[in-house]
Amino acid sequence: MPQKQEDSKNHKERFQPLSQEEERIGRAIVNAAYKVHKELGPGLLERVYEACLCHVLREEGYHVQRQIDIPISFEGIEFNEGLRLDVMVDNKVIAELKALENVNPVWEAQLLSHLKLTGKRLGYLINFNVPLIKEGIKRMVV
């Protein structure tokens, strides 16, 4: 396929709307984050928020996986070098959780990398160490 046609095809694929299921899962993740933050507030360890968020989502019937290893493929070789994503919901949406006072721009790059490496399109970066949880949620679509 000529380069121009291939670029056009890739452009169309990248900018397709998310599925209704991805949007539904995304809303559930955000609602669960609000629920957890409302009850616990800021100041706890990341793993506490992760456990509670996953509990809420499982109670709502979602399949939730925690601390998933992500292999890296380079020059046809697969490496397992400790790259790990925090939460995957219904094998469709990623949530990266933080509980830190200072926001680090590398977190967004980390989430984008996780989306790319897993082939997922929707991810959330959620920092629980904020006074209002809405200030700690960043949605990313690729």
Give pLDDT tens digits for 49-96.
999 999 999 999 999 999 999 988 889 888 887 789 999 999 999 999
> What is the rounded CA–CA span in Å between residue 88 and residue 65?
5
Residue ranges covered by each domain of the chain: 16-141
pLDDT at 83: 86
Q: What is the pLDDT of residues 2-40, one digit of tens each?
A: 555 555 555 555 578 999 999 999 999 999 999 999 999
Give the neighbor-by-neighbor strand order of the sheet with 64-69.
Answer: 64-69, 84-89, 93-98, 122-127, 137-141
> What does pTM read for this prediction?
0.87
Choosing among 1.10.3470, 3.10.310, 3.40.1350, 2.60.40, the CATH entry for 16-141 is: 3.40.1350
pLDDT at 72: 87
pLDDT at 74: 85
